[in-house]
Amino acid sequence: MSPIDYSKWGHIDISDDEDLQHPNIDKASLWKWEKEARYARYEEQEKKKNEVTEKKNCLQNKLKEHEASDPSNFSQLEALKTELEAYEKEEAKLLRKEKLYPNWNSSNMCKDVFNTTRLNSAAFKKNHEKTEEEIQAEQAEFFKRFRHEIKKFGKLTNMEDSRDYLLEHPHLVNEYTANFLVVWCVDLQIDEDESSVETVAKQTILMQHLLEVHKTSKHTVMDLIRNFFKRIKLAGSQYFVAFKDEYEALVSRIKQRAEEREKEAIEEYERKEKERRIAESPGGLDPCEVMESLPEPMRTAFESRDIPALQEAVKHMEEHEFKYHLDRCIKSGLWVPGPEDSKDQRPAETLASVNQEP
């Protein structure tokens, strides 16, 4: 077994070398100066090597041109060959020196060969393994923590800014971000903020495209973001044609959802109002529904609060019909019976007790 060769470690540049220390010189400043001088030396060496290589390549090209155009000019060819050999020797000498005395220092003498991060996948549940309640709770927490960051992303207007912002906030590459943006778009549409809807909708499509690539990508999120925006740049107009189609489809869905939300809000308001009216009525009937069910003359009299017209409408009604509508009016609160009212007698004077605010 051959012994280990330690010679390559014999020329390591160390800024805090004890031999260079002096009690009257600040150590931090000395180390800084030494580092600057070291890198200046490295640059000079690299520059010299590049100049020799460039000159050698130039001579090789020139020699080929002379061999092709003027092969009989032996003196010129020999001169070029001699010069070329000199530069080849110089290049070999520099490469040999670089190999024997590499520029080792604390920054480049070691490299990380195996650097991986391992997550205990058993500790994390995928979305299809979670209950609906767990997903909703997780999404609500995500919205609460990153609401400001998501809104800032949603307001960006160009690809470069979006890329840079996601590289600073990679945790936003998440389906919850896309969900937030869609809901926000609907809210903006309801508020009739058309310009903001356009901006946020475009960012929504961008996030959805990124998430689609993420599903099949094996890259880290940071690499995914870089590669994604690089591909967009290479694809050019082809990408933006597809982007426009999806954007227009999303805006159409947003408008439809906004209309549904407004309709749902109106229906919810009407439902609560009906529940309130029924709760406040004496017999548990909705006065609005009862009003709609009354015969036309009777309803018109109630709506106009015309007592004589109401008395006249009652005179021309059948007894059973009158009792049916009277009972419903009383239970709904449209009619407030007086002490003189009888179940078997049509009220005359007590018609004046009609509720003035049905």
Which CATH number does the domain housing residue 183 bear?
1.20.58.610
Q: Are residues 136 and 100 in the same domain?
A: no
Q: Does residue 152 have a pLDDT over 90?
A: yes
Distances (CA, A) of 221 to 9, 154, 179, 218: 38, 19, 19, 9
Sign of CA dihedral 8, 9, 13, 17: negative
Which of these ranges, 85-99, 126-140, 158-172, has the smallest mean pLDDT?
126-140
Q: What is the CA radius of gyration of the chain?
A: 44
If pLDDT is split at 50, 70 and 90, which confidence band does 11 have? low
Q: Are residues 211 and 306 in the same domain?
A: no
Percent of the chain scored above 70 by pLDDT?
76
Is position 278 within any domain? no
Is position 301 within any domain? yes
Residue type, 278: I
Q: Are residues 69 and 138 in the same domain?
A: no
Is position 219 within any domain? yes
Q: Are residues 137 and 214 in the same domain?
A: yes
Query: Angle, nearest 10°, between helix axes 237-280 and 175-190?
Result: 60
Is position 203 within any domain? yes
Reading the block at residue 153, the tokens are: 């992303």
If pLDDT is split at 50, 70 and 90, which confidence band does 309 have? confident
Is position 265 within any domain? no
Residue type, 150: I
**Within 10 Å of residue 158's Cβ, how many Cβ atoms?**
7
236 φψ region: left (φ > 0), alpha (ψ -120 to 50), beta (else)? left
Single pTM value for the model = 0.47
**pLDDT tens for residues 15-37?**
555 455 555 556 666 667 777 77
Q: Are residues 90 and 147 in the same domain?
A: no
Instruction: Note whether 330 and 306 are within 8 A (CB).
Output: no
Instruction: Note whether 199 and 189 are within 8 A (CB).
Output: no
Predicted confidence at residue 30, as pLDDT, reads 64
**Within 10 Å of residue 80's Cβ, how many Cβ atoms?**
19
Reading the block at residue 206, the tokens are: 């961008």
Q: Are residues 59 and 160 in the same domain?
A: no
Q: How many domains does the chain have?
A: 3
Point out the domain boundary residue: 89, 105, 121: 105
Q: Are residues 136 and 245 in the same domain?
A: yes
Q: Are residues 76 and 185 in the same domain?
A: no
Q: Are residues 89 and 134 in the same domain?
A: no
Q: Are residues 237 and 334 in the same domain?
A: no
Q: Cα(185)–Cα(194) distance, rounded to whole angstroms? A: 10
Q: Are residues 134 and 240 in the same domain?
A: yes
Q: Are residues 241 and 139 in the same domain?
A: yes
Is position 236 within any domain? yes
Partners of residue 104 on adjacent β-strands:
12
- Residue 235 structural domain: 130-251
Is position 336 within any domain? yes
Instruction: Note whether 351 and 310 are within 8 A (CB).
Output: yes
Instruction: Note whether 103 and 45 are within 8 A (CB).
Output: yes
Is position 264 within any domain? no
| Structure-token match 């009619």, residue found | 335
**pLDDT tens for residues 320-340?**
887 888 788 888 887 776 555
